[in-house]
Chains A and B, each alone.
Chain A
Amino acid sequence: MHDRISVKTGFMMRSMRVLGVAALFLGALTLYAENETPVPTVLVGDVTLKVERQNSEQERLDVGLAVFDPGIPIDRSSHSKLGIFPEIRKAESKFMPVLLRQALVASNAWGVVRVLPDAQMTTELLVTGVIKHSDGSRLELNITAVDATGLVWFDRLYRDQTNSSDYPAAEDRDPYDDMYRQIANDLLNYREGLTERQLQAIRQTAFLRYAASLSEDAFGGYLQKNEQGIYSVVRLPAQGDPMTRRVEGLREQEHLFVDTVDEQYVDLFDEMLVTYSLWREYSRDQALYLDDYEARAQTKERAGRRGTFAAMEQTYNTYKQVKIQEQDLDEMATGFNNEVAPTVMEASGRVFRLNGSLDAQYQEWRDILREIFALETGLPSSN
């Protein structure tokens, strides 16, 4: 009898073990699927911006902040479950880089900091971001910084939580200022670890990569790319080379376009700021309601006894107010995303009128500059 039980138990134990291993395997697979590329997480607290008092022009790299990836899932049916308002997210993806730029400029550690309509690897330092979560109580941004040589400075997930003192947000403040300051500090910390020679190599590579994007034939040979995708300068064009001067001129033209677009972003952002701040405050209140709705219901001022018109009207109007506020912002965000003025640019004595979305205008402008370069030099343009 005892043997029979032990045999039976042994078989069951083995089965359990097999099931356990299978469960662990499945669990591991799920974890892997959920976090395909786990990145280090930075929990942001109170942050003081690191400001550089003195630095040489050599140390100042130009920074390009690409419009962030709004992080909107393709499956539209999941948006409301995740609390994502696509139009608001798209608008956030354009003005969050503007806020990060403010922190970088205030740190006095960088050259020109521009918000770019799309990621351009020809900038000296490119910062890209993905909005993982954004509402009034929590912001999560996946930030990646890559320099022109292809070296990844960092790839981190920044997470910041607001508290009641962050609201109502003052006119010149954002509830997530600490996060932008933290990113700015992290970039500066990394840059401080680079030698002057490395910084110079980044600047030269950026220029040559831009030049190669105009004419691979003329400039491609100046650079070398290794197996890890890191660029290095093989040789430099001669000083005073007329072709190099042309490239510099066109690069200035491209920057001029980006600066014009930049002003548009700032103006549109200012228009929407008041409503956006209110929406974030409401969304934080809603998140808090989740935690202690019952407690509040007991203590909040009631307009009347439950079931009376006064009480029901109060309940309905509270909901209505939040909905209208949310819908107004959504409509404004749609305006933010759609309202792009045509840009008029001048190059080589000709005037160009660019239409469409900002990234389409940017692409069109770059194509025009390439054509101009090809016409002026007689070299085939890189496409």
Chain B
Amino acid sequence: MMYSYYQRVSSTLLVVICLLLWACSSAPEAPRSLPNAVENRVDFSGFWELDYSQSDDIQANLNALVRDVSRYNRQRSQASGVYQQAGSGVLIGGPGSTNSGASVIGLAQMANLVTQSQLMEITQGENEIKVKRQEDFALSCEFYLGQYHTVDTPLGKEICGWDRHQLVFKIVLPEGLTVQHIFSLGPQGQWLNVATTVISDRVTSPFTVNRVYARYEPSDTGYSCKMTLSRGRVCTTESQ
């Protein structure tokens, strides 16, 4: 009698659990846009040349960063009871501490270093993109529906994918350094904005630089280059 009672209770419990699991798995979800959804994609293909006149001035951005970290440091000092006279100028941490002068300026220098490419060549297919950058490594990404592409190596981790109409490349490097590039296309597709953000765990604010690139035809430069196996990179004056 007791045996069948427990059997009944257990069976009922099992059925309830199964129903609950089924209900959870089949509950209708609100429609949401998946990362890398095809409809969000923009075609960045082509040759791009840096336009200094439309790009950010690093010095101006550095000034803004210094203001940011000074404000942060001042608020922190006040919170800890240290009085700071208003308008006392730049307040940056000492060597080795967070927001030290060397770290803040280093962040701006890094942003300058990673945005040096003057020319870019982008090839984009249905499932992948490759951004060849002059004097830097190429950024490449494979898009598969609903997932961000991740490449993990001991020297760094790359994450990339679409954020609606923007393409995001994030490179997480050792020692608290992160570099992020966000690609977005201007109206009519003639301009390409690359917003590069450098983040260090030694500075409380990130540093962002916008570089604007204009489309160009490679033949306009008077030469064209291609990679060959037998002769390496070969440039000719022939127009393409």
Contacts and interface: CB of A to CB of B under 8 A. Distances in A.
Interface of A: 3-4, 7-8, 11, 15, 76-77, 79-81, 268, 271-272, 286, 289-290, 293, 297, 305-313, 315-316, 318-320, 322-324, 327, 331-332, 335-336, 339
Interface residues of B, number: 46
A152 to B, nearest CB: 37
Given A306-B176, A310-B106, A313-B109, 19 more contacts: A76-B127, A77-B142, A80-B142, A80-B151, A268-B229, A271-B229, A286-B153, A293-B154, A305-B102, A308-B103, A309-B102, A309-B105, A309-B106, A315-B174, A319-B137, A319-B156, A323-B137, A324-B137, A332-B229
B155 A322 contact: yes
A327 B174 contact: no
Contacts, number: 109
B230 interface: yes
Given A307-B100, A316-B114, A7 B3 contact: yes
Nearest to A328: B227
Contact of B110 (A7, A81, A309, A335): A309
Contact of A306 (B6, B107, B150, B175): B175
Contact of A339 (B96, B102, B229): B229
Nearest to A325: B137
Contacts of A289: 154-155
Contacts of B154: 286, 289-290, 293
A321 to B, nearest CB: 9
Nearest to B151: A80
B191 interface: no
B193 to A, nearest CB: 22
A309 B229 contact: no
A335 B227 contact: yes
A310 B113 CA distance: 12
14 contacts: A11-B6, A271-B229, A305-B95, A307-B201, A312-B200, A313-B113, A315-B173, A315-B177, A316-B110, A319-B156, A322-B153, A332-B227, A335-B229, A339-B230
